[in-house]
Amino acid sequence: MKKRFGFTLAEVLITLGIIGVVAAMTIPTLVQNINSTKWTSQYKKAFSTLTNAAEMAVAQYDMTFNLYTDACSAAQARTDNMESPTAANRRKSICAFVNGSLANVRYIGTGAQAYTAANGLIGTAPTFGTGAGQMGAPNTAHVYALPDGAWIAVPAAGANMSTCTVQSGTDPARLANCHGFIDVNGAAAPNQPVMCNNANVVATDSGLNAAALCNNFRPSDVKDVFPIVFHDGTVSPSSTAARFVLTRSK
């Protein structure tokens, strides 16, 4: 009797079938975990870049966000700067802050322009809703690209930001004309705001505890868009989910 040293066709097909089933079950989760880690890291990096720039603007120009009373048009969004050493001649706009305090930043356009194929890009603009503490006009926000590919959006049409200061006991997420967002991978999908427990919890509810709301947080809740609010001399996350992701250890 001859000894058999190989596998039969049926055995090979069964093995491949088992491998395929296991792969189908595990690969999507693995990809989501990788994306979650990557997007979280990019968010924290971009957020740190913005907060450092805000601190620099305060130190160099004595300018906090509530002092940006000049609006900026689409044309000014490309050129506004705080280069004048005299306060009287200095442009006081959120666009001047971006151009003057962020190195190698590039203006993309308004939100409506940035996420359209007409601009050579592919994607759908993120949707935040119109409730309190939400950015209701992302299509008219000015969008800039950082050198690492992340996009930052500043208040719609470079709005007058005189109200962007937090009084005692006030949640900064509820300020008007002060909202923007970080899109860590630009026009690329999914272009969705970060969530908590798979719910689109965008507005910060001051009556809810972030840890309690996000107690079942999972990698699939991390998306590529993180809402922020510019106020006083700093930048803060403007949603419960964005706050939770910024402060969680992993």
Q: How do residues 217-239 score in pLDDT, each as one tens digit? A: 788 888 999 989 999 999 999 88
- pLDDT band for position 192 (50/70/90)? confident
Better-predicted residue by pLDDT, 213 or 210: 213
pLDDT tops 50 at residue 22: yes
H helix and E strand count, the chain: 6, 6
The reported pLDDT for the residue numbered 85 is 60
pLDDT tops 90 at residue 17: no
The reported pLDDT for the residue numbered 125 is 66
Query: Which of 215, 230, 213 minimizes the C-alpha distance to 176?
Result: 230
- Judge contact between 97 and 105, C-beta under 8 A: no
Residue range 113-149, pLDDT digits in tens: 888 765 555 566 676 654 444 555 678 889 999 999 9
How many angstroms separate the first and last alpha carbons of the chain? 60
| 3-state class (DSSP) for residue 151 | strand
Residues 6+ apart with CB under 8 A from 57: 63, 64, 82, 97, 100, 101, 233
**Which of 120-129, 172-181, 184-193 is predicted least confidently?**
120-129
Q: pTM of the entire structure?
A: 0.82
Residues 176, 177, 183, 187, CA torsion sign: positive
- Judge contact between 177 and 165, C-beta under 8 A: no
Burial (0-12, 13-18, 19+ Cβ within 10 Å), 8: exposed
Residues 6+ apart with CB under 8 A from 74: 109, 110, 142
Cα distances (Å, whole numbers) of residue 21 to 27, 28, 212? 10, 12, 36
Highest mean predicted confidence (pLDDT) among 30-34, 86-90, 200-204: 30-34
Better-predicted residue by pLDDT, 18 or 137: 18
- pLDDT band for position 105 (50/70/90)? very high
The reported pLDDT for the residue numbered 130 is 45
The mean pLDDT value for 50-65 works out to: 92
- Summary mean pLDDT of the chain: 79
Number of neighbouring beta carbons within 10 Å of residue 26: 10
249: amino acid identity, one letter: S
The reported pLDDT for the residue numbered 220 is 84
The reported pLDDT for the residue numbered 50 is 96
